[in-house]
Amino acid sequence: MSDEGKAKLVMALRKAGVTDTAVLGAIEKLPRDVFVPAHFRHAAYDDVALPIGHGQTVSRPAVVGLMTEALCLTPRTKVLEIGTGSGYQTAVLAMLSRRVYTIERHRPLLAMAEQRFGQLKLFNITTRAGDGTLGWKAQAPFQCIIVTAAAADVPPVLADQLAEGGAMVVPIGSDYASQAIVKVVREGSGFTTKEMRAVPFVPLVPADTAREAV
C-alpha cells in the first residue's frame, strides 16, 4: 500500500474522532492488508469492516482506533483481549503496551493470527484458544480489557479481572440496532460505565469447548 493510501486512512480516523498520536501512528505503521483475505486486500486501507471467515470480521480501523484510544495504554500496560479474530486489533495493542493476552474461540482464525504475529515480529502477545467469556483468571488482574464482540450486558467475570483503576471497553447490545461501545472503569469495589458511541459487532458467545474457568 502506498504512503498516500495510509495517509488517507489516518485522515479518515481523525475525522472519525481518533486523536491520540500514538494510536494513529500504530495504525499507520501496521500493514492491515496482512490481516485480511487476499480477495479483500484492495479494500484493506479503507475505513470499513471486512469478512475474515467463520462469521467474523476485522473491525473498521476507526473502531479499532477509538476502542484502543479509550484504554489509555502505556508501554507498561498488561492487556486482555477477548476475540483475537484476524489479529489486527491485537497487533495494534501489542505495539502500544507491554503484553497482550488474547483469546479466540475459532482455532483456525487463531492459528492464522499467530502466523501474522510471527511475520511482524510481535513477540509480546500470548494467545489462547478457548472461551473468552471466562477471561484469563490465571493472568489476572489486567490494567485493560478489550472485548471485540457484543455482549448483552457488561460481563461480570471480565469486569472482576480488572485491576484497581483498570478500564474495559466492550460493545453492549443484543442486536445491531442497539449496540454501543461502553467503557467500564474499576473503582474500589464498584464500577463506573460510560457509553461511547453506537457501532455494530458480531455477538460474544461461549466457545463450544473450554467450559471451565482458566
Helix residue spans in 31-103 (DSSP H): 61-71, 88-96
**2 a catalytic residue:** no
Query: Given this model, what pLDDT does residue 27 score?
Result: 96
> Predicted confidence band at 159 (pLDDT cuts at 50, 70, 90)?
very high
Task: Tell me what pLDDT residue 207 has.
Answer: 63
Share above pLDDT 70 across residues of the chain, in percent, rounded to a whole number: 92
pLDDT digit string, tens, across residues 41-50: 999 999 999 9
Per-residue HEC secondary structure of 154-202 comes to: CCHHHHCCEEEEEEEEEEECCCHHHCEEEEEEEECCEEEEEEEEECCCC
**pLDDT tens sequence across 114-146:** 999 999 999 999 999 999 999 999 999 999 999
Under a CB-based contact definition with an 8 Å cutoff, are residues 33 and 2 in contact?
Answer: no
Q: Mean of the pLDDT values across residues 15-27?
A: 96
Model pLDDT for residues 68-123, shown as the tens digit of each residue: 999 999 999 999 999 999 999 999 999 999 999 999 999 999 999 999 999 999 99
**pLDDT of 1 strictly over 60:** no
Contact present, 165 and 186 (Cβ < 8 Å): yes
Residue in 2, 59, 97, 178 annotated catalytic = 59
Structural contact between residues 127 and 102, judged by C-beta atoms closer than 8 angstroms = yes
pLDDT classification of 209: cutoffs 50, 70, 90: very low
Q: Decide if 155 contacts 146 (C-beta within 8 A).
A: no
Domains of the chain, by residue range, sit at 3-198
Identify any residues that bridge with 187 across adjacent strands, giving them in sequence order: 190
Q: What is the DSSP letter of 118?
A: H
Residue tagged 460510560 (cell numbers): 194
Asked if residues 74 and 115 have their Cβ atoms less than 8 Å apart, the reply is: no
Statement: residue 213 has pLDDT above 50: no
Please determine, looking at this structure, whether the domain spanning 3-198 carries the CATH number 2.40.40.20: no
- Can you give the pLDDT at residue 214? 35
Instruction: Assess contact for 35 and 92: CB atoms under 8 A.
Output: no
